[in-house]
Amino acid sequence: MYLKPPSGFRDFEPKDMILRKRVISALENIFLRYGYDPIETPVLEHWEVFEGKYGKEAETKLMYKFKDPWSDKWFALRFDLTVPMARFFSLKHPSLPFKRYHIGRVWRHERPQKGRYREFWQADADIVGSPYPEADAELLELSIDAMLKLGFKNFVIKLNDRRILRGIFEEKLALKNDIEIYRVIDKLDKIGYDGVRVELNKLGLNKRAVDKILEIISREYNVTDNINELIDEFSGNTNVEKGVSHILDIVNVLGFKRKYVTFSLNLVRGLDYYTGPVWEIVIKDIGIGSVAGGGRYDDLIEKYAGTSYPATGTSFGVERLIDAGKLTGIFKTDKITFTEIYVLSMSTKTFKISWEIARELRAKGFFVRVDLMRRSERKQREYASKKEIPILLIIGEKELSTNSVTIYVRKTGERLTIARDELIEFLRKLNKDLYYDK
Amino acid sequence: MYLKPPSGFRDFEPKDMILRKRVISALENIFLRYGYDPIETPVLEHWEVFEGKYGKEAETKLMYKFKDPWSDKWFALRFDLTVPMARFFSLKHPSLPFKRYHIGRVWRHERPQKGRYREFWQADADIVGSPYPEADAELLELSIDAMLKLGFKNFVIKLNDRRILRGIFEEKLALKNDIEIYRVIDKLDKIGYDGVRVELNKLGLNKRAVDKILEIISREYNVTDNINELIDEFSGNTNVEKGVSHILDIVNVLGFKRKYVTFSLNLVRGLDYYTGPVWEIVIKDIGIGSVAGGGRYDDLIEKYAGTSYPATGTSFGVERLIDAGKLTGIFKTDKITFTEIYVLSMSTKTFKISWEIARELRAKGFFVRVDLMRRSERKQREYASKKEIPILLIIGEKELSTNSVTIYVRKTGERLTIARDELIEFLRKLNKDLYYDK
């Protein structure tokens, strides 16, 4: 009967949505604080927009490509928000720097598994126009603020620069085409060092080269201290020097926030379009992949715009953040409704009164439900209780005759009767106590 | 080069998004006030979920149907938010009444024209579980509140009940299959009475029947007074009686808000699944189609759930609302950035200071930009001006030596220097004056 969504796609119930909205609005608020403005693009693009941007595996195995039912054109659902932004930028040519955020879904035909879906949400911030480390630093500082605002403490930003690896490969292995190797290294978390060795062998590299690559990516450097060792070892290699100096400049701008950043030679990112610094945010000790990642892609926009524009960006995986937050206990789906007040209707006689009170409360901004099922008082109470609506208003014969309202507060079990004209003020105070996030 | 989105699809720049966010958040706030909770569903569904729900034309000409690239299954992009909700409900069986809102995109392969897009946003509120007019009335009251909150004044809700037309057709024309006729009447706004006559002829109806249908749909009744004439004319017809009585009950619950409602025998709605009351919101005197519409669909959920659940819902067209608001002058895209403050960097020496001030302001919740382009002071000023950022902060040598900040307010042209430690408090006050909607 196809009641379930297609594999890897999901429905979200109110309790999921309430948490998701909290997470998304925290991210959005941080983007705004850093001066990013929102854009939106279609969920689908002409296939040609995506072609040649992400790498062969993505294009052939992961993208939802389909034929427009009314023409010979091919469309695909967007694979990320970066490429649509590059197209958007090249069409509109906004003034520089162009700083935009975009929170929306993307589609990848991955094998569905814990924390990995085929339809998922990304929250991206990007800067077009600046080639400078300040731009990358801003994105890292923004990322740190976002993680802290969401409540994460035990996280680290792994930072690398693709030019460093490229330089090392040039010096040590005389390798020119490094993209294929990056794609293998990117799987390190999933397949481990042994798996990387197998895959590198498959690329046709000799044993010496494979050994060297494994040695290099297992190195750990402390970004604040001994990254200069790299310069010493590879002095004279322009790529290594550029990469290291870019990273040192980023870290310098970060100031005291550098404590969240680690330099990781094995961090490469899987997509083709990165050209310089790349980073990922990892939550320690929970064995979940990265929750965010990004980097510089100075050559991507040229493919659309004809001329070159430096660009850098970062992307949060909304599902990853939520799964990580649940695992670490900072996120809970314990709120199942936004509704604050249920106004009981005791009889057909008081239905009109309940409706009027609901109307008055709604006009003041409260979130209110009334009976729509012509149910008994008991059934209404059961429903309000099942839905965990925090406040119940009762207007029976007694309240009617004394022009008062009885209030029941679920959390405390408190029950009290107050004058009708004090209701709004009373509920405002009550609400302030009950809600932290309104 | 495929820089433009596919025909009927659009990009939204920050200035569009800022308006869209205002409209969407107003709608969302009203949904919440009435006790609706959010859900989300995938953008695509198995084709079988949609099959037989909207009518032949929709299924064959309007839906984005495509084959899953990795299986023999057919998918389609969602055509509305009602059918996905019905599937969701049948899968999850939440307690009744189930009141959900859903704001998201849908896709229809219409001919692109002013106000009509192939990818557009709907904002829906639905109630499952109640067969009573109170439920429909709640949705109409919610709709009125939403229109008023958005700033519309000159609107009307056209209300009808499909059972009334069905009853009239039974009595006058001995017609049983009324769906085809509804679909023709639904085009009245687009093709006029003459066009409706042509299309009805095509259905094979005789001249007498066509004349009668045209006479009936051109009748105007005042919902508060003379709707009972209909009952007199068709007394004894169960369908007419049920329809009229349902409408009178709705209007009774609406109380003084009934003034926004008109009874319109020619309002039918185009989709197959409606079974009782139907409505549309029309803005007067701007010649744009309806901005919202809905109705009761008591038989739809049974197709998924096996058992019958009464249901009713309403749907706002976000693009229609925005286009109507622009036409009537209540909406403008005059705000081009959310950014509130630009902190000028006067030299490499003061860059660090600017960054620190930006950091401090961001931590306090302000929306702040700093230079990322190593630009001259003049170039930075030009950029801030082009982006219409309302406040400029200047920290030059003078300010550095006196531990002060110079503030330039774009709107008033005012320029003043204040002590560094009074900055936050001062900007808070200033912001309150500059922004109404923050």
How far CA B174 is from CA of B168, B177, B213, B405, in Å, comes to 9, 10, 12, 82
Strand partners, B161: B277
Residue A33 to residue A316: CA distance in whole angstroms = 16
H or E element: which one contains A220?
strand A220-221
B/e letters for B270-282, b = 16+ CB within 10 Å, e = fewer, are: bbbbbbbbbbbbb
Final residue in a domain of this structure, among A307, A328, A349: A328
Output the pLDDT for position A424: 95
How far CA A165 is from CA of A177, A213, A226, in Å, comes to 12, 9, 17
Token digits of residue A74: 């091919």
Kindly identify which residue of chain A lies nearest to residue B26, measuring between CA atoms: A365
Residue B59 to residue B51: CA distance in whole angstroms = 7
Q: What are phi and psi of A176, to 5 degrees?
A: -110, -45
How far CA B197 is from CA of A288, B188, B268, in Å, comes to 64, 10, 16
How far CA B120 is from CA of A9, A132, A331, B49, B109, in Å, comes to 21, 38, 32, 20, 11
Helices in A177-315 by DSSP H: which ranges? 179-185, 188-202, 207-217, 228-233, 238-254, 302-305
Report chain A residues whose CB lies below 8 A from the CB of B75: 6
Please state, rounded to an integer, the average pLDDT across all residues of chain B: 92
How far CA A87 is from CA of A40, A60, A123, in Å, comes to 12, 21, 18
A368/A428 same-domain check: yes
B394/B304 same-domain check: no
Q: What are phi and psi of B88, to 5 degrees?
A: -55, -50
Token digits of residue A141: 């500082």
B217-272 per-position pLDDT tens digit: 888 776 666 787 888 888 889 999 999 999 999 999 999 999 999 998 888 887 78
Output the pLDDT for position A438: 39
Report chain B residues whose CB lies below 8 A from the CB of A11: 39-42, 88, 91-92
Report chain A residues whose CB lies below 8 A from the CB of B6: 42, 44-46, 68, 73, 75
B261-314 per-position pLDDT tens digit: 999 888 888 778 899 999 999 998 887 889 999 999 999 999 999 999 999 999
Output the pLDDT for position A109: 95
Residue B437: pLDDT band (50, 70, 90) is very low
A33 in a structural domain? yes
* Dihedral angle over CA of B320, B321, B323, B329, nearest 10: 160
Quote the minimal CA–CA distance from B264 to chain A in Å.
Answer: 25
Q: Is A198 on the interface with B (CB under 8 A)?
A: no
Q: Is the dihedral of CA B359, B361, B367, B373 positive or negative?
A: negative
Q: Is B253 on the interface with A (CB under 8 A)?
A: yes
Name the amino acid, one letter, at A112: P
Indicate whether B438 pLDDT > 60: no
B4 in a structural domain? no
How far CA A375 is from CA of A242, A354, A386, B97, B109, in Å, comes to 72, 13, 15, 11, 43
Q: Is A172 on the interface with B (CB under 8 A)?
A: no
Q: Which of B4, B7, B10, B11 to mutate to test the interface with A (most CBs of A within 10 A)?
A: B11
Is A5–B45 a contact, with Cβ atoms under 8 angstroms apart? yes
Token digits of residue B313: 């819902």
B350/B213 same-domain check: no
> Of A92, A248, A226, A415, nearest to B10 (Cα)?
A92
The pLDDT > 70 percentage for chain A reads 97
A212 in a structural domain? no
DSSP A65: E
Token digits of residue A205: 């590299």
pTM of the model: 0.94
Residue A378: CATH number of its domain: 3.40.50.800
B360-397 per-position pLDDT tens digit: 999 999 999 999 999 999 999 999 999 999 999 999 88
> What does DSSP say about strands B368-370 and B341-343: parallel, antiparallel, or unpaired?
parallel
A312/A354 same-domain check: no
A311/A409 same-domain check: no
Q: Is A258 on the interface with B (CB under 8 A)?
A: no
3-class SS string, B331-343: CCCCCCCCCCEEE
Q: Which of A338-342, A354-358, A384-388, B396-400 has the lowest mean pLDDT?
A: B396-400
How far CA B343 is from CA of A38, B124, B368, in Å, comes to 21, 42, 7
Residues A266-283, mean pLDDT to the nearest whole number: 90
The interaxial angle of helices B14-33 and B318-327, nearest 10 deg, is: 110
Q: Are A126 and A313 in contact (CB under 8 A)?
A: yes
Query: Residue written as tokens 């969302």?
Result: B28
A353-386 per-position pLDDT tens digit: 999 999 999 999 999 999 999 999 999 999 999 9
Sheet with A292-296, strands from edge to edge, namely A37-38, A98-107, A119-128, A311-317, A292-296, A277-283, A155-161, A261-264, A220-221
B152/B186 same-domain check: yes
Q: What are phi and psi of B246, to 5 degrees?
A: -60, -45
Query: In this predicted model, which residue has the larger pLDDT, A31 or A116?
Result: A31
Q: What are phi and psi of A206, to 5 degrees?
A: -80, 165
Output the pLDDT for position B112: 81
Is A42–B119 a contact, with Cβ atoms under 8 angstroms apart? yes
Nearest beta carbon to residue B372 from set A6, A49, A138: A138
Q: Is B88 on the interface with A (CB under 8 A)?
A: yes
> Of A110, A104, A111, nearest to A39 (Cα)?
A104
Q: Which of A312-316, B1-5, B86-90 has the lowest mean pLDDT?
A: B1-5
Nearest beta carbon to residue B32 from set A9, A134, A367: A367
Is A44–B9 a contact, with Cβ atoms under 8 angstroms apart? yes
Output the pLDDT for position B225: 65
Residues B31-55, mean pLDDT to the nearest whole number: 96
Output the pLDDT for position A224: 62
H or E element: which one contains A57?
helix A56-57
Query: Residue written as tokens 């239905």?
Result: A351
A116/A28 same-domain check: yes
- Strand residues in B4-162 grouped as ranges (E): 37-38, 44-46, 65-67, 74-77, 98-107, 119-128, 155-161
The domain tally of chain A equals 2
Q: Is B64 on the interface with A (CB under 8 A)?
A: yes
Output the pLDDT for position B190: 84
Q: Is A74 on the interface with B (CB under 8 A)?
A: no
Nearest beta carbon to residue B3 from set A91, A95, A134: A91
A306: left (phi over 0), alpha (psi -120 to 50) or beta: left
Residue/partner pairs of A280-285 with CB below 8 Å, 24 or more apart: A280/A157, A280/A158, A281/A143, A281/A147, A281/A155, A281/A156, A281/A157, A281/A158, A282/A155, A282/A156, A282/A157, A282/A158, A283/A152, A283/A154, A283/A155, A283/A324, A283/A328, A284/A154, A284/A155, A284/A156, A285/A154
N-term to C-term CA, chain B: 40
> Of B126, B124, B106, B125, nearest to B116 (Cα)?
B106
Residue A168 to residue A164: CA distance in whole angstroms = 6
Final residue in a domain of this structure, among B327, B360, B393: B327
Residue A231: pLDDT band (50, 70, 90) is confident
How far CA A11 is from CA of A114, A171, B88, B438, in Å, comes to 15, 51, 7, 32
DSSP B275: -
Residue A436: pLDDT band (50, 70, 90) is very low
CB neighbours of A323 closer than 8 A, spacing ≥ 6? A114, A115, A288
A358 is in which domain, residue-wise? 341-434
Residue A32: pLDDT band (50, 70, 90) is very high
Output the pLDDT for position A387: 96
A240 in a structural domain? yes
Sheet with A391-394, strands from edge to edge, namely A368-370, A341-343, A391-394, A404-409, A415-419
Kindly report whether the peptide bond that precedes residue B133 is cis, defined as omega within 30 degrees of 0.
no
Is B372–A127 a contact, with Cβ atoms under 8 angstroms apart? yes
- HSE-up of residue B166 (Cα within 13 Å, Cβ side): 18
A104/A223 same-domain check: yes
Residues B52-65, mean pLDDT to the nearest whole number: 92
Report chain B residues whose CB lies below 8 A from the CB of A33: 362, 365-368
B/e letters for B16-38, b = 16+ CB within 10 Å, e = fewer, are: bbbbbebbbebbbebbbbbbbbb
Kindly identify which residue of chain A lies nearest to residue B337, measuring between CA atoms: A37
Output the pLDDT for position B245: 93
Residues B121-138, mean pLDDT to the nearest whole number: 98
Strand partners, B221: B263
Final residue in a domain of this structure, among B327, B360, B386: B327
Quote the minimal CA–CA distance from A209 to chain B in Å.
Answer: 37
Q: Which of A118-122, A134-138, A237-241 has the lowest mean pLDDT?
A: A237-241
B18/B134 same-domain check: yes
A289/A400 same-domain check: no
Output the pLDDT for position A1: 64
The pLDDT > 90 percentage for chain A reads 73
A229/A365 same-domain check: no
Output the pLDDT for position A437: 44
B1 in a structural domain? no
B48/B129 same-domain check: yes
CA B419, B421, B425: angle at the middle one, nearest 5?
A: 100
Q: Are A316 and A291 in contact (CB under 8 A)?
A: yes
Q: Are B250 and B140 in contact (CB under 8 A)?
A: yes
B67 in a structural domain? yes
Please state, rounded to an integer, the average pLDDT across all residues of chain A: 92
Helices in B174-306 by DSSP H: which ranges? 179-185, 188-202, 207-217, 228-233, 238-254, 302-305
Residue A225: CATH number of its domain: 3.30.930.10
Counts for chain B of helices (H) and strands (E), in that order: 17, 17
DSSP A166: H
**Residues constituting chain A:** 438
B6 in a structural domain? no
Is B109–A32 a contact, with Cβ atoms under 8 angstroms apart? no
A249 in a structural domain? yes
- HSE-up of residue B6 (Cα within 13 Å, Cβ side): 26
Query: DSSP readout, B365-411?
Result: T--EEE-SS---HHHHHHHHHHTT-SEEEE--HHHHHHTEEEEEETT
